[in-house]
Amino acid sequence: MSNISSNLKFLRKKKRLTQQQFADAMGVKRASIGAYEEDRAEPKYELLKKIADFYGLTMDELANDTIDEKWTQAAKGASSNLRVLSITVGQDNRENIELVPVKASAGYLNGYADPEFVKELPKFSLPMFKQGTYRAFEIAGDSMLPLQSGAIVIGEYLENWMDIKAGQTYVIVSKDDGLVYKRAAYSFNEEKGLKLLSDNKLYDPYWVEPSEILEVWKAKAFISTEFPEPSAEPSMEGLTAMMAQMQKTINSVVDGKK
């Protein structure tokens, strides 16, 4: 027997949302939420997935676990505590991409899980991002050059921190450092947390403990009015092309002497 109805009611009240507020966040009618909570109907697959993502759960946990004050989430890489992700949806019932500008980054630490705060953020959508939950963050400073200060990094919400991979870039939301865009030195360590690197070598790497991390967003794209400067050193592809051109020139000279 499914536990969806009781779990939905508990999670909504824990988040201090009215049925109407939760319905608005999910893009459905308030009457539908009432029906789900009273066990008169069950949400379809797509909505069930959206609800599970909203509360940082798996669909199996939402449907089968008994979620109450005594419940603890199965460990998923420092994710044993319930994480609530607030989202907004557009008229087409697709999730928006909310933009967190630099001026709102300080408030994001307190409001990242608050539907009212997230609702007030600027929103947009991109056709290439149809599946998943995305958020955009304006970066500041020169620690990730050649990406310029003011660039906007679009990140995909990463529920399982064990999926963090060395060498890839992420927006990390942490209690001490706020919003930072960095490169992971290693995969996530359940005891130590994350070692973060800056592409600008003037900045030293540092560790962020698991208990300090609030959200992780995997960088998928960026928007900038500043184009990156060309690298001073030729790339491997450039060197290969240069060698091929040199070999072609040498061959033509040799053939000309024959």
- Model pLDDT for residues 189-218, shown as the tens digit of each residue: 888 999 999 999 999 999 999 888 989 999
Residue 53 maps to a domain: yes
Report the range of poorest mean pLDDT among 7-11, 78-82, 120-124, 127-131: 78-82
Angle at 35 between CA 33 and CA 40, to 5 degrees: 150
Q: Does 82 score more than 70 pLDDT?
A: no
Angle at 157 between CA 155 and CA 159, to 5 degrees: 150
191 and 103 in a common domain: yes
Number of domains in the chain: 2
207 and 147 in a common domain: yes
Phi, psi of 27 (to 5 degrees): 75, 30
Residue 228 maps to a domain: no
Residue 258 maps to a domain: no
Q: How far is residue 116 from each of residues 22, 125, 158, measured CA to CA in Å?
A: 11, 20, 22
Decide which of 39, 64, 89 is a domain's last residue: 64
Report the range of poorest mean pLDDT among 6-20, 23-37, 57-71: 57-71
Residue 108 maps to a domain: yes
Q: Which two tokens stand for residue 132?
A: 């998943």
Q: What is the mean pLDDT of residues 247-251?
A: 71
Crossing angle of the two packed helices 19-26 and 30-37, in degrees rounded to 10 = 110
Average pLDDT score over the chain:
85
**114: pLDDT confidence band, cut at 50, 70 and 90?**
confident
Q: Which two tokens stand for residue 69?
A: 């004050």
Q: Does 75 score more than 50 pLDDT?
A: no
Residue 80 maps to a domain: no
Residue 240 maps to a domain: no
218 and 103 in a common domain: yes
Residue 11's domain comprises 4-64
Residue 189 maps to a domain: yes
The string of pLDDT tens digits covering residues 132-168 is 889 999 999 999 988 889 999 999 999 889 899 999 9
| Residue among 144, 135, 205, 128 at smallest CA distance from 173 | 135
- Return the exposure string of 204-225: e unless at least 16 CB atoms fall within 10 Å of the residue's CB, then b: eeeebebebbbbbbbbeebeee
209 and 127 in a common domain: yes
